[in-house]
Homo-oligomer: A and B are copies of this chain.
Amino acid sequence: MPRKVYLAGPEVFLPDATEVGRRKVEICARYGLLGVFPLDLDSSPGPTTSPATFKACVAAMHDAAAIVANLTPFRGAGADPGTAFELGYVFALGRPVFGYTNDPVAHVERVRSRFGPLRREGDSLFAADGFAVENFELFDNLMLAEVLLESGPGVFIPQMPVADPTRDLATFERCVAHAAESLREAGQG
């Protein structure tokens, strides 16, 4: 029986989300894992509701051996907050957490490119929006970056430029390969 891996990420919002999910599940299968794509959870007739989706996702996370989260920036400088929520949820359950981003750019540079020049003040760096920028050479908020170091080598980032960051699955596949090996080593694979 293959171990279930919860596939979090903002690709559920793509017009071709179902197809992207199918490809993700297929890649998981190649590494002996059962990928659980959130959009596949709703089997009830009638329109999708918000409470039903929430309950289905929470149940699926409980049921999963691990999470593989797509932390590519979504509608802003950082990861999709829904995905970040799920990453925290699965981590608190004590399960291994894995993640990747299709944007190789560091957090500081992401903020600079969206909000303009940064300003240094003592040890701190501030963006033009008036807020400080975490300056740790990480890819996103430190909570997301550090939690991935609890279960593995940290975030997976592209090895070469990505033409279509919303659909490219090369970095996802490297992340899944690592997750599969890691779960196997932990006797869960």
Contacts and interface: CB of A to CB of B under 8 A. Distances in A.
A13 B132 contact: yes
Interface string A47-84: 10111011001000000000000000111111111111
Interface residues of A, number: 59
Contacts of A121: 15
Interface string A1-45: 000000000100111010000000000000000000000000000
A142 interface: yes
A181 interface: no
A78 B73 CA distance: 11
Nearest to A110: B75
B81 A140 contact: yes
A185 interface: no
Contact of A131 (B13, B76, B90, B126): B13
A187 B8 CA distance: 35
A145 to B, nearest CB: 7
Contact of A14 (B10, B13, B132): B132
10 contacts: A13-B132, A13-B133, A47-B123, A75-B131, A78-B80, A79-B81, A84-B85, A85-B147, A88-B88, A88-B89
